């Protein structure tokens, strides 16, 4: 017996149960077709939080993303639930949640550490890290790609950029995962209150300590660049460095891991696509873009309207939340033919890194390089890798990622 889908005006997009098996793609498809800018009245889990507008088409997400004067990142932060894990005040100390001109000044400083040249210089080191993690699996028949491959690789890559000692990788990963995945009962079994009271302070203390150490003894890592950076003769303030450091470790930890695992899952579920890559490894960068399109690591980012405005035929009021759903815009049928089909030859443009504008992802070059190396090295060693159980999604309308991906390495 088929169950009638809810009428769209009753759909509450961020409700946890909609996200148990990944993003609710069918609901987003209906929204794009029937109500592309959609109002959700409440968030059941957070009764004090206001409702929000959902923006679901690529054109509208693009329009919001580029218009920072109408759609602020600072007023209410960048996630649909304002205060879920970190108080808004802390979120706003990160430049991802600032508006120009302050945003631009800080971003310019951080950009110096992420120039394409600086990233390209890291290619041999990233390959070595990836190879050593994959070689560590020798002799094993099965593993979990999330915890045994993706996590150690991304932690060490961002750790080496930032100057985190390798023996602390697991601790940093645990804290970051607890904070970003909070809400998911497996990732933070002790609940969000404990994460807030225990894990957030521990993480910031560690960030502060590392920043203080680099102030005393600079090295060639990115933290030292931040500590010593000047713009118009002015240094960054202490809390700007600490929160900038946190932002980079958080972004570097989670997103690349998510895209690699979802991409590998798709390759295992579509052996014809995997065979195309094996036959022609020059397709790997295109497979990376297709994985980014179909499985954007962040399901959404949010803005807050600074004035009354119109979008997609709806009137948005000053102060209202506007949520850009990349998981929807990246499958917009007006941009992509057969958008739910995973096609490693598509080499698509997409909005996984944001839809242009001031907040476009700082880490694109690093993420693309890491993802390319991860896919290349995994397939080179384990060309017949296959699923060894049902993967599980983190239950979250914000981080779009698998929390388990059991595989058989050499069937
Ligand atoms: C697959 C990998 C990644 C994805 C899908 C991704 C996605 C995004 C998205 C969607 C935004 C825009 C946020 C907004 O508009 O409010 C963003 C911003 C940002 N990302 Fe990434 N990211 C990835 C990897 C990384 C990495 C590896 C780093 C750095 C280590 C990084 C650092 C940042 C920073 C600092 C911002 C804020 C930029 C700003 O506000 O101007 N990202 N990312």
pLDDT score for 86:
79
**pLDDT, the chain, mean:** 92
- On the question of pLDDT at 2 being above 60, the answer is no
Higher pLDDT, residue 174 or 296: 296
Q: How far is CA 120 from CA 15, 132, 287, 379, in A?
A: 41, 19, 20, 22
pLDDT in tens, 248-264: 988 888 899 999 999 99
pLDDT score for 188:
67
| Residue having the nearest C-alpha atom to atom 42 of ligand 1 | 363
For residue 259 and ligand 1, the question of a CB distance below 6 A is answered with yes
Percent of the chain with pLDDT over 90: 71
pLDDT score for 3:
67
Return the number of other C-beta atoms located less than 10 Å from residue 348's C-beta: 16
For residue 397 and ligand 1, the question of a CB distance below 6 A is answered with no
Selection from 164, 165, 229, 239 nearest residue 204 by Cα: 239
Return the number of other C-beta atoms located less than 10 Å from residue 282's C-beta: 7
For residues 48-58, average pLDDT: 97
> Which ligand 1 atom is the nearest neighbour of the CA of 367?
27
- On the question of pLDDT at 313 being above 60, the answer is yes
Q: How far is CA 7 from CA 94, 237, 316, in A?
A: 38, 50, 21
For residues 233-241, average pLDDT: 80
For residue 298 and ligand 1, the question of a CB distance below 6 A is answered with yes
pLDDT score for 360:
97
| Residue having the nearest C-alpha atom to atom 11 of ligand 1 | 361
Backbone angles phi, psi at 334, to 5 degrees: -80, -15
pLDDT score for 90:
85
Residue with tokens 């057969």: 338
pLDDT score for 32:
98
pLDDT score for 243:
86
pLDDT score for 236:
77
pLDDT in tens, 338-362: 999 999 999 999 999 999 999 999 9
Q: How far is CA 209 from CA 60, 170, 175, in A?
A: 42, 17, 15
pLDDT in tens, 156-207: 999 998 999 999 999 999 888 888 775 677 766 777 777 778 888 888 899 8
**110, 116 Cβ separation under 8 angstroms:** no
Q: How far is the CA of 9 from the centre of ligand 1 (A)?
A: 31
**Residue 7 token pair:** 């009428």
Q: What would the 3-class secondary structure string for the chain be?
A: CCCCCCCHHHCCCCCHHHHECECCHHHHHHHHHHCCEEEECCCCCCCCCCCEEEECCHHHHHHHHHCCCCEECCCCCCCCCCCCCCCHHHHCCCHHHCCCCHHHHHHHHHHHHHCHHHHHHCHHHHHHHHHHHHHCCCCCCEEEHHHHHHHHHHHHHHHHHHCCCHHHHHHHHHHHHHHHCCCCCCCCCCCHHHHHHHHHHHHHHHHHHHHHHHHHCCCCCHHHHHHHCEECCEECCHHHHHHHHHHHHHHHHHHHHHHHHHHHHHHHHCHHHHHHHHHCHHHHHHHHHHHHHHCCCECEEEEEECCCEEECCEEECCCCEEEEEHHHHCCCCCCCCCCCCCCCCCCCCCCCCCCCCCCCCCCHHHHHHHHHHHHHHHHHHCCCCEECCCCEECCCCCECCEEECEEECCC
Query: Lowest-pLDDT range, 14-28, 51-65, 147-161, 200-214?
Result: 200-214
- On the question of pLDDT at 265 being above 90, the answer is yes
**Residue 155 token pair:** 């932690």
pLDDT band per the 50, 70, 90 thresholds, residue 63: very high
pLDDT in tens, 364-397: 999 999 999 999 999 999 999 999 999 999 988 9
| Residue having the nearest C-alpha atom to atom 9 of ligand 1 | 353
**Residue 193 token pair:** 């209150």
pLDDT score for 176:
86
- On the question of pLDDT at 267 being above 60, the answer is yes
For residue 355 and ligand 1, the question of a CB distance below 6 A is answered with no
Backbone angles phi, psi at 388, to 5 degrees: -120, 20
Rounded to an integer, what distance in angstroms lies between the CA atom of residue 96 and that of residue 171?
A: 24
Q: How far is the CA of 362 from the centre of ligand 1 (A)?
A: 5
Rounded to an integer, what distance in angstroms lies between the CA atom of residue 13 and that of residue 25?
A: 11
| Residue having the nearest C-alpha atom to atom 21 of ligand 1 | 361
For residues 26-39, average pLDDT: 98
For residue 77 and ligand 1, the question of a CB distance below 6 A is answered with no
pLDDT band per the 50, 70, 90 thresholds, residue 142: very high
pLDDT in tens, 215-236: 899 998 888 888 887 767 777 7
Rounded to an integer, what distance in angstroms lies between the CA atom of residue 198 and that of residue 195?
A: 5
For residue 353 and ligand 1, the question of a CB distance below 6 A is answered with yes
For residues 24-37, average pLDDT: 98
pLDDT score for 67:
98
Sketch out the chain's domains with CATH numbers.
8-408 (1.10.630.10)
Q: How many residues does the chain have?
A: 411
């Amino acid at each position: 017996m088929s169950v009638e889908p809810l009428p769209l005006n009753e759909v509450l997009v961020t409700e946890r149960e909609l996200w148990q098996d990944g993003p609710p793609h069918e609901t987003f498809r209906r929204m794009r077709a029937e109500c592309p800018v959609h109002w959700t009245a409440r968030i059941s889990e957070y009764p004090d939080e206001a409702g929000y507008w959902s923006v679901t088409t690529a054109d509208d997400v693009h329009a919001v993303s580029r218009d920072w004067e109408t759609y602020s990142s600072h007023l209410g932060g960048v996630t649909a639930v304002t205060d879920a894990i970190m108080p808004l005040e802390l979120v706003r100390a990160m430049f991802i949640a600032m508006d120009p001109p302050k945003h631009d000044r800080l971003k310019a400083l951080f950009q110096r550490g992420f120039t394409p040249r600086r990233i390209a210089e890291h290619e041999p080191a990233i390959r070595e890290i990836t190879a050593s993690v994959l070689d560590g699996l020798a002799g094993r028949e099965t593993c979990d790609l999330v915890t045994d491959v993706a996590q150690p690789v991304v932690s060490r890559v961002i750790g080496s950029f930032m100057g985190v000692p390798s023996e602390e990788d697991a601790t940093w990963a645990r804290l970051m995962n607890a904070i970003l995945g909070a809400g998911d009962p497996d990732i933070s079994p002790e609940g969000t209150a404990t994460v807030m009271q225990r894990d957030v302070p521990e993480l910031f203390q560690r960030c502060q300590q590392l920043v203080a150490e680099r102030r005393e003894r600079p090295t060639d890592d990115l933290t030292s660049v931040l500590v010593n950076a000047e713009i118009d003769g002015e240094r960054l303030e202490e809390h700007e460095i600490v929160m900038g450091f946190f932002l980079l470790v958080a972004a570097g930890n989670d997103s690349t891991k998510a895209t690699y695992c979802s991409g590998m899952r798709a390759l295992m579920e579509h052996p014809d696509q995997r065979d195309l890559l094996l036959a022609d490894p020059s397709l790997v960068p295109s497979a990376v873009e297709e994985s980014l399109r179909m499985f954007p690591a962040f399901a959404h980012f949010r803005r807050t309207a600074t004035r009354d405005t119109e979008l997609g035929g709806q009137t948005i009021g000053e102060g209202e939340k506007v949520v850009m759903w990349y998981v929807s815009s990246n499958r917009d049928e007006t941009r992509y033919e057969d958008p739910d089909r995973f096609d490693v030859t598509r080499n698509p443009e997409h909005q996984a890194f944001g839809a242009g504008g001031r907040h476009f992802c700082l880490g694109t070059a690093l993420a693309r390089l890491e993802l390319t190396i991860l896919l290349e090295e995994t397939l080179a060693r384990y060309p017949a890798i296959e699923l060894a159980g049902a993967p599980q999604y983190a239950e979250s309308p914000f981080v779009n990622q698998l929390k388990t991906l059991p595989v058989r390495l050499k069937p």
